[in-house]
Amino acid sequence: MSIEEFFKHELHEWRATIEFYLADLDILDNRLMEVAGKNTKTTIMVGVEHFQNQFTLQKNNLQVFKHKVQEQDDKLNAVVKEIDPLNDLNIVDEQHFLREAVQLNEKIFQELRHSFYRFLSKVF
């Protein structure tokens, strides 16, 4: 597999991961609305508001990453058309930066999901 193919494969995986997390956030958000509808205690509503804010933040972050992945894909397509594609270290550096950012966001999302499930276990 060439480096270009590897990068394309990574970008494809990241797109799929981002779409998965966006869909998962919709599910978590619906579940949160169930909690809000069934509970009016102040302590529970504080938790609901916290998770609403976190879900909104994560959705925004995922949309930013989705856009960055598309930009990187566009750049990669342009670079591949050149004679010596990966002599442009900028594209390699951007891929590396994006890889680390996606991995960090994935870790943050997993922690948020687990935190939300702990909240749900206390509420139900």
- Mean pLDDT of all residues in 73-93: 75
Domain count, the chain: 1
**% of the chain beyond a pLDDT of 90:** 75
Tokens 């891929």 appear where?
95
Q: Do 102 and 17 touch, CB atoms closer than 8 A?
A: yes
Residue 89 lies in domain: 3-123
At 88-108, the pLDDT tens digits run 668 889 999 999 999 999 999
pLDDT of residue 86: 55
At 48-63, the pLDDT tens digits run 999 999 999 999 999 9
Global pTM reads 0.86
In terms of C-beta distances under 8 Å and separation of at least 24 residues, what long-range contacts does 102-109 make, across chains too? 102/14, 102/17, 102/18, 102/65, 102/69, 105/61, 105/62, 105/65, 106/17, 106/21, 108/58, 109/21, 109/58
Which tokens is 21 given? Answer: 């997390």
